[in-house]
Structure formats: C-alpha cells, structure tokens
Amino acid sequence: MNDMTQTNLQKDLKIVGTRPLRPDGADKVTGRALFGADKSLPNMLVGRVLRSPHAHAKIISIDTKAAEALPGVKAVITSKDFQDLPSEFVPAGEMMVNFKDMTRNIMAREKVLYEGHTVAAVAAINDAIAEEAMALIKVEYELLPHVMDVEEAEKPNAPLLHDDMITIGVEPAPKKPSNVAKRVEFGFGDLDKGFKEADLIIEKKFSTQPVHQGYIEPHACLASVSEDGQGELWVTTQGPFVVRNFCSKILGMSTSQIRVTASEIGGGFGGKTVIYLEPLALALSRKACRPVKMVMSRQEVLMASGPTSGAKIWVKIGVKKDGRITAGDAVLKFQAGAFQGSPIGPGAMCAFAPYEMTNVRVVGYDIVVNRPKVAAYRAPGGPISEYAVESVMDEIAQKLNLDPLELRLKNAAKEGTQAPYGPKLGPIGMIETLEAAKAHPHYSAPLGPNQGRGVASGFWFNIGGETCTSININEDGTVGLTLGTPDIGGSRASMAMMAAEELGVPMSTIRPIIGDTSSLGFNFLTGGSRVTFSSGMAVVESVREIIVELRKRAAQLWDVSIEKVEWVSGHARLVGSENPKSLSLRELAEAAGKTGGPIVGGASINATGAGPSLATHIVDVEVDPETGRTTVLRYTAIQDAGKAIHPSYVEGQMQGGAVQGIGWALNEEYVYDDNGKLLNPGFLDYRVPVCSDVPMIDTVIVEVPNPKHPYGVRGVGETPIVPPLAAVSNAVSRATNIRFNELPLSPPRVLAAIESR
Amino acid sequence: MATLIFNGSLTQFTNGQTECEVHAKNIKSLLGEIREKFPRLSPLIESEGFAIAIDGEIFQDIWFAPISDSSEVHLIPPIGGG
Amino acid sequence: MSKKHISTVINGDAMEFLASPEQSLLDILRDELELTGSKEGCGTGDCGACSIMLDGRLVCSCLVLGVEADGKNIDTIEGMGNGSDMHPLQKKFLEHAALQCGICTPGILIAAKALLEKKPDPTEEEVRYWLAGNLCRCTGYDKIVRAVLDTAADMRAA
Ligand code: FES
Ligand code: FES
C-alpha cells in the first residue's frame, strides 16, 4: 500500500505544470533514437513468419524438410517447438492470461483460426532466402466453415472455433460448447418501474467495426539466446516485464533467463501489450544459435495483430420530459477475435458511467470469431459502449428539444454517485467538463448549411498497478532515475519534472532512463493511463526517501539529529539556527563516500487510487449532400486531467485520441471477402486520418485533482478516444437530419442514407 | 462488519443474494470468506480474477488493503487499459 | 542475382554500396549503411516515415530502388542538424511538443523542410495538404502543423 497522504496539491509548484523540453527529444528529431527495428547484432539472421491463407482450417500436416534443406536457412519452427500449455488462467501483471490460448495465438497448433494466423517461422541469412524457404514449407489444411460476425457466431448451428468453449458467467453452466466465451451483467434498480416512469423511451441498435490501433511502427524485435541459454530481447513494447514473463512461460525458460530491453516505441495504444514475434524470435535464435531479428510488414500488422472489437449494441433509455433519466438498459456483443478476451467487462461497466442512474442494466457477451485476437486499444471497450449510449442521449435531447449539454448536466455523475457497476465514485470532473464545454466559444459559434454540431462525453477508469523505480544521486549531485515503464509519449519528461519538483533542483540535473528487466523489479506495462499516475507516485516516493537519506548525511556532518535538518529548494538546512547552515545536493553528493557510501533509493508500490477521467468533446462537421463525405470543421476536446504535469503532452494525448476517434467514426474499417480474407491490409485502403482530414484540435484541460496522487494526477491517455465516435456521429446526424447508428460514417453509407431519406 | 454487495450477474452465483455482511479485515481474507460463503463464485475468482472496490477505491490484486467495519465492498472485473 | 555497385552522396559524404536489383533505397539506407533514422511504417508509399530527399526531390525511399540512387544526392534526417546545430524545424518540434512517440518525426521533418524551401510562407491548409502523405497516429497533427507554421514565421523574420 502506498501512503501518499502528503500531497502537493496546494503547494506553489515551480516545475510541475510548466512545459520544459523533453529529455529524449533531441535524439528523436535527429533520427538517432533507436526503435524496435533499428538495432542489429553481428552474425544476425532474419526471421520471417509463414501465415495461414485461410480463415478457419484444420492443420493436417506441416512438412518443413525442404525449407530446412535450403542453403542459408538456419532454423525452422512450428508448434512442435513449443510445449503445449493447459487451459488455466494465470495472473500476468494485472491481467489473467490463459496460456493455452496465448501459445496457440503465437503459433497455431490444431487449427488456424484467422487469415494471417502463424503456422511456422523461418530464420535465414537474408530476407530473400527466408522468403524462398517459406514457399517450401508444405502445409496441408482441411478447410472449415468460418464465421466473422458476432450475431452469426452466437447462433446454435454456427461453426465452432473451440469445441471446448463453455460460456463463463452463466448459471447453470451450459452443457454445450458455443462461441460465446463469457456473459457479464451489471446494474441495479428496477428497470420495469424506471421505464414505466419515463415520458420518452428510445431504443436502438448500433454497430461498430473493429479498428486497428494503427501505430506507425510495426512490431519488431531482436532476440539473442546465448550458447548457455541466456536470452536477450530488444523489442518495441509497452511492457518489457510482461513480455519477459509471457515468453518465459511459453518457451519454458526461467524468468531470469530472459532479459528484455524496451526499445523506443513507435506508438502502441494498447496494441503492444501482448506478444506476437517475441517468442518466435527467441525460439528461432535458440535453435539457430544466432541472433534473429523479426519485423512485421504493415500487411502482417493489419492481418494478424490486435484490432479492437467490432460490436453489435442495443440500447434503451427512458427519460422524463425534463430530461431526467429513469432507466437505461443495454446489450453489448463484442468480437473477441479467435480467442476469448474482448474488453467486454470494462465496456459494459463504462456504458452508462458518465451518468447518475437509478435503474440500470448492461449485459455483455464476449464472442469468438475468425478474426485476429483483439488487443487493447485506448480505453478498451469504452468507446464502443459509450458511442451507443451517447448517440441515444443526443436523440433524446433532440426529441425533447433540450440542449444536449443541459441534458447531460441534468444526469451527470458526481462524487458519491453509485456507478452502474456498483461502487460509489470519488471526486470526478463530469460536471466541470460539461460546464467548460457550455462556456466555450465553440459551442455558441454559428453553423452554416449542411453543417451540424455534435457533443458527447466519455468516461474511463484509469488504473494503477505494480511499479518500481530507482534513483541514484551521482557524485556531482546530478540524479539518475531509472523507470520500468516505457516512455510512449513524453513520460520521461513528466517523471523528471516530478522528481525535480520534489527535490528542489532544476529538471536538467535529472536524467530519466527506462531500465531493462534486470535493472528493476517487476513493472506492469505502460497502458491504462497509468504511467504518470503510478510511476509518478513511485518517483515521488523514491525522491522522498532520498531526501530523508540526504538529511541524515547532513545531520551527520553537522553533528545534530536528523530532525534538526530540513530539505528546502535542493539544500539541507539547519532548522532554526541563527547563522543558517546549508549544504547543497552537490556538496552532499561529493561527500557521499565519507558519509556512508553512495546515496541511492527506490520505491516499489502497487499503486491504487487511480481516478476516473471524464471528457466532453464538441465537433462541427459539414456533410456534402452530393457525395456523402463528411468534413470535420472544428473540434474541441475538454478533459479532466486531475493535474497536468506537462500540459503540452496532456494536450497531445487529447488531440491524438480525438483524431483516432474521428478515424474510427468516419473511415476506418476492415473489409473481408466471403472467404474471410482481408481485402485492405494496407494504409492505402485502411484509411487512418491524414493531416488534411482534420482541423486543429482545440483543448481545454480541466483540473479536478485526484486526492490519491501527490500531484492530483488522474491519467489522461485513454479517455480522449471515448467521446469522438458519438460526437462525430451526432454531428453528422444533426447535419443531415438522419439518425445514424452504424460506424464508420464513410461517404457511401452516408450518401445511401441521404438518398433514401 | 463490512457490507459486500453483488452487482448484476454475480447474483446468479449467490442464489440471488445482493448483499451480505463480511468479517474480513482485508482483501485476502475477504476472498477466503467469499469462497466459503459462495462456493459457486470460486471458479470465477480463479479464472477471471476480480478487482475489489472498497468504498469506491478500486484495488486490483492487493491482498492487504484494509477493509473497515463501515466499508462498502464490491467485486468488479479487473480493468486493464490501452 | 548479382549486385550493382552504386555511388551516391549522402548528407554531403560520398558513399558507395552494393545493391541487389530489388532492394529498396530504404533497405539500403537502414540495413546496409546503418542510417536507421529513416523509418519503415508501410513499405508501400503510404505513411511517409521513410521520406528523404533525392536530388532535391522529396520521395518515399521505400518506393525507390537502391540502384536508382546511382550518381544521386541523398539527404536524410541524419544530415538535417545535430544537437548543437539543429535545424529550426527540429527546435520548433521540440518546443511545440510536436512528437509523442517520434517514429513519424524524421519523415515529417524532411517533408516539412522540403515544403519550407519551396514555400516559405505556407498557409495552414498548404501545410496540411503537403504533409498528407506523412501519417502520425499519436499527435492528431495539431502540434505538428503549429510547429511548421511557427518555424516558417521565424525563418521569414530571420
Ligand atoms: S515506409 Fe515508405 S511510405 Fe511508409
Ligand atoms: S508521434 Fe507517434 S506517430 Fe507521430
């Protein structure tokens, strides 16, 4: 447990809240920063993956002899090179992981379950030979019928992906296997009574498409297993410790045998919290006794790495004439991909979370289909369920002739509100973001013809978790700070800022680095908006510990008790003395050898007390009635950050999330043919927003401090992708006077609706 | 004694009971108490794991978080993130 | 297939390499010459992470063959500026926090520099259309566009 009761919420802050340059910036603008694919080792091989051309098939046999015989090929692996693992849920960081599924996802065993599923991997002296070798691997398949859609997959006669899958969460447990992995339900109150009290009830079905995280850097790693079986892995990941633990389990190696170093990471958004190439590269390296580098192509990224779930959603909301919600009911069906584990739990918990509900129910289903296994994507589950609820809220506002922000204000959750998933909420900023939206000039700006304005709010929990850091005072008084959470968007800056603030020294004297897995204890991954919160807490705690040590050293030098020494602005000071004595950090550091040895510290916590972050977004669009094309004209994102340590990077999170959400709302979707083959595995046709698609993204940071963090931090990365789906859809609906309930709102879909109006 | 509240589908495993009093003073003993009182919840605890909200604050896998006599405790699914 | 001997000038230095006929210039830069500042986001000309200047023309190096570079002048991010002597765009990108993960940054800097050389006074719209071939998934482009416009204003004033 961490006691962070000594907070700095009220204190005058010198560094926290300013906008210094990031410590890793110069390397990144000069091309020196090393990402996943940027490192090489002597005598290195190239690893490539042979993938299934089928959406669903039994593997009858794999013959690798010809490939192995090809000169230049050094190793070929298939599922035979991996031990099978039983179906059991094992805690991995904060997740429960079923390694039976994981080992089958990284290398198919009995069956291939989606196009792109790995069936073999090759290490060769160069790419051309690896390519040739893959063509020589003979795989005999027996094709099976496939299923891509959740509503098809849950039918009793649907093709079964796993013939032992019994739905979890249903009592009594079903006797027969199905594609429904899990059912969840949340809620309280009396729905019938609530809907009876309503003056207006709106009930609607929605659908969203799976979308990819779209990080620009494909998955990449460089593995080297030494002759004595010690593994080294350089990899682009959000969680080096998690990768280490997953790989050691899958490869049957001990944890200490694998050292993982996180490269600079070229975007993740949740997609780099799992493993794909890593165990393959290690296995190939172990077999070939040489380093192996593996890099996915963009096509492989889109075909075989995690999108988030596509979904079918049903929502029913009842309200009084004045807009007060009397009841809310929803059913969510999420695609899990080929293995169970969609974000159905959090998705269902979030659905009505921005509101104070008295009668509420959300039922969710996790359903397997012949698509790549989903991975986390920013606020996993939240954007999908909240899109549907926020769309219905907008329709209610229109029908009741109420301002959509007023409608939300009337129902807004606040401190003490019982969340639909049970517990009472602590202080949250829903009302504050709504008020800020109302007051923003954007909200009252005039609109032209074919234009519409949409608003929507969003909720995300944020998380804490296992975290540790270490800190060294160097001999010249500068500070080394080692962190275990990869820096994906400026966290080295915010950590150095908090350390500098606490220690009372300039930020430039702090050097934050990301440690490898042998330099620190376990750290849960960078994700869930937890880094500034949890690593920040650990940093603050380690600095406070170091300050105690520094005071002790000064007390020794002055021959007084430690209570007589205070720490002020980077100096030890003798309390209440006439002739004020003081020692700088540098002076204490220089004397360290004589006063007891190096001054080092660290903290190890399992951070709790993360505070939900709420957001409200406003967007103006113009819809071309001739083509159905939607242009985003103006966008304002308002969010409660708790406290913005480095406001520029908080704004950046808000802007980036908003634009990802715009892509989800307007363009991004996978197109599969009848055989379950992906037709658009490239950035040309899987269209993420480009610079000319979007306007400036205006931001307003609201700060309702999280009382559980020393600086009030909530975490900001997840929430900004929640509101845009509904905000954009509401804007398009208002611009066209047609209520839309399917994403993406691509020009053909919008045009068809306009034409049949 | 603290109050443990079951939300939504969990009541299927508690014979419809929506709340009960618990003696546990921390999460570890709470999980033991739940297994004992509601054995049908056990498999869920093993497979999915739960986060525990104590007076609104969510604890994931933190056994020794204290539960006071006046606490309101909820079982919720673990939360990850992107 | 046999490799061809290629002579180029890269960031002002004469450099030679052997290229097989199908090897892209990006692969040559990254794998043979260890100039890993140019990134591969797609390999199909859609993301711009591999942007370089070839004889003064902005190109996606993943779409150029190594053998095509023979006798040509190549400028990559490694030649744009260094820590003690940064190009104004590099400085402005840092000041404006116009990068989060930074994987798109080398390509965007090269493209933005090419724009400012051609058009020292671009409008926001011109910047957006010029950079439309450079994907960034982290920033939502806002701070990138601001950094480019701000650099342009500063360079004009200088
Ligand atoms: S790698 Fe060349 S454009 Fe994407
Ligand atoms: S900063 Fe990450 S892709 Fe642009």
Secondary structure (DSSP) of A242-308: HHHHHHHHHHT--GGGEEEEE-B-S--TTTTSS-SSHHHHHHHHHHHTS-EEEE--HHHHHHHS-BP
Answer yes or no: do C11 and C46 share one domain: yes
Q: DSSP assignment of A696-729, as one string?
A: -EEEEEE----TTSTT-----SSGGGSTHHHHHH
Please name the member of C30, C109, C139 whose beta carbon is closest to the beta carbon of A29. Answer: C109
Of A326, A318, A390, A320, nearest in space to A354 by CA: A390
Tell me if A127 sits within 8 A of A46, measured CB to CB: yes
pLDDT in tens, B6-44: 988 888 899 889 999 999 999 999 999 999 999 998 888
Within 6 A (CB) of ligand 2 lie A 216, 267; C 99-104, 136-139
pLDDT at A2: 44
Query: What local confidence, expressed as pLDDT, does residue A1 receive?
Result: 39
- The rounded Å distance from CA A233 to ligand 1 centre is 26
Please give the mean pLDDT across all residues of chain C: 97
Query: What is the C49 CA–ligand 1 centroid distance (Å)?
Result: 5
Cα-Cα-Cα-Cα dihedral sign, residues A739, A741, A744, A749: negative
Q: Is A266 exposed, middle or buried (0-12, 13-18, 19+ CB in 10 A)?
A: buried
Parent domain of C148 = 88-157
- SS3 at position A357: coil
List the structure tokens of A583: 């020692």
- Assess contact for A350 and A315: CB atoms under 8 A: no
Residue whose CA is at the smallest distance from ligand 2 atom 4: C136
How far is C102 from chain A, CA to nearest CA, in Å? 6
Domain spans, chain B? 2-76
Helix ranges, B5-59 (H): 27-37, 42-47
How many other C-beta atoms are found inside a 10 Å radius of the C-beta of residue A175?
6
pLDDT of residue A9: 62
**Same domain membership, residue C16 and residue C37:** yes
CA atoms within 13 A on the CB side of B22: 29
Residues with CB under 6 A from ligand 1: C 40-43, 45-50, 60, 62
Of the candidates A337, A331, A329, A330, the one whose C-alpha atom is nearest the C-alpha of residue A310 is A337
Residues 6+ positions from A5 with CB-CB distance below 8 Å:
none
Residues of A in contact with C41 (CB under 8 A): 216-218, 266, 298, 683
Ligand 1 test: best mutation among C23, C47, C76, most atoms within 8 Å of CB? C47
pLDDT in tens, A576-619: 877 688 999 999 999 999 999 999 999 999 999 999 999 999 99
Distance C129 CA to ligand 2 centre (A): 18
Cross-strand bridge partners of residue A332 = A313, A364
CATH code of the domain covering residue C52: 3.10.20.30
Asked if C106 and C60 sit in the same domain, the reply is no
Computed over its alpha carbons, how large is the radius of gyration of chain C?
16
User: In which order are the strands placed within the sheet that holds B57-60?
Assistant: B19-22, B2-5, B72-76, B51-54, B57-60
Interface predicted TM-score (ipTM) of this complex, two decimals: 0.98
Q: Is A141 left (phi over 0), alpha (psi -120 to 50) or beta?
A: beta
Show the low-confidence residues of chain A (pLDDT under 50): 1-3, 5
Contact: A655, C139; criterion CB under 8 Å: yes
**Among C24, C55, C79, which residue terminates a domain?**
C79
Interchain contact B57–A (C-beta under 8 A): yes
User: Is A30 close to C82, i.e. CB distance below 8 A?
Assistant: yes
Last residue of one domain, picked from the residues C29, C61, C79: C79
Q: In the Cβ-directed half-sphere of A196, how many Cα atoms lie within 13 Å? A: 4
Domain A381-462+611-755 has CATH 3.40.50.11540: no
The pair phi, psi for residue A380, each rounded to 5°, is: -50, 120
The model's pTM is 0.96
What would you report as the CA-atom Rg of chain A, rounded to the nearest whole angstrom? 27
Q: How far is A166 from chain B (nearest CA, A)?
A: 13
Q: Does C21 touch chain A (CB under 8 A)?
A: no
Enumerate the residues of chain A whose CB falls inside 8 A of the CB of residue C31.
40
Number of domains composing chain C:
2
Partner residue facing A527 (CB), from B57, B77, B81: B81
pLDDT (0 to 100) of residue C83: 85
The helix/strand/coil state of A364 is strand
Cβ–Cβ under 8 Å, residues A732 and A750: yes
Closest Cα to residue A178, out of A165, A197, A191? A165
Architecture of domain A7-33+464-607: 2-Layer Sandwich (3.30)
Mark which of C38, C54, C79 sits at the end of a domain: C79
CA dist C95 and A476 (Å) reads: 28
Kindly report the nearest CA distance between residue B72 and chain A, in angstroms. 8
Does C134 touch chain A if contact means CB atoms closer than 8 Å?
yes
pLDDT tens readout for residues A110-164: 999 999 999 999 999 999 999 999 999 999 999 999 999 999 999 999 999 999 9
Q: Is C14 exposed, middle or buried (0-12, 13-18, 19+ CB in 10 A)?
A: exposed
Contacts of residue A228, defined as CB under 8 A and 6 or more positions apart, other chains included, come to: none
- pLDDT recorded at residue C25: 98
Q: Which helix (H) or strand (E) holds A368?
A: strand A360-368
Sorted by sequence, the CB contacts under 8 Å of residue A626 that are 6+ apart come out as none
The residue to which tokens 């079918």 are assigned: A312
CB-based contact A301:A212 (threshold 8 Å) = yes
What is the rounded distance in angstroms from the CA atom of residue A534 to the CA atom of residue A463? 8
CA distance A601 to A470: 6
Would you say A241 and A260 are in contact if contact means Cβ atoms under 8 Å apart?
yes
Residue with CA at minimum distance from ligand 1 atom 3: C45
pLDDT of the residue at B47: 75
Nearest to A422 among B47, B53, B80 (CB): B53
Query: Could you tell me if C9 and C68 lie in one domain?
Result: yes
Q: Residue C131: name the closest of C81, C85, C93 by CA.
A: C93
Asked if B3 is an interface residue toward chain A (Cβ–Cβ < 8 A), one would say: no
- Output the residue whose Cα is nearest ligand 2's atom 3: C136
For residue B45, pLDDT beyond 90:
no
What is the average pLDDT across C8-16? 98
- What is the torsional sign of CA C96, C98, C101, C105? negative
Q: Say what percent of chain C tops pLDDT 90.
A: 95
Q: pLDDT of C75-113, one tens digit each?
A: 999 999 988 899 999 999 999 999 999 999 999 999 999
The model's confidence at residue C1, banded by pLDDT at 50, 70 and 90, is low
CATH 1.10.1530.10 fits B2-76, yes or no: no
Distance set, CA A159 to CA A47, A51, A102, A546 (Å): 34, 21, 21, 60
Provide the pLDDT for residue A734: 98
**DSSP-based helix, strand, coil % in chain C, nearest 5:** 40, 20, 40
Contact C43 A21 (CB under 8 A): no
Distance from CA of C20 to the nearest CA of A (A): 11
Q: What is the pLDDT of residue A124?
A: 98
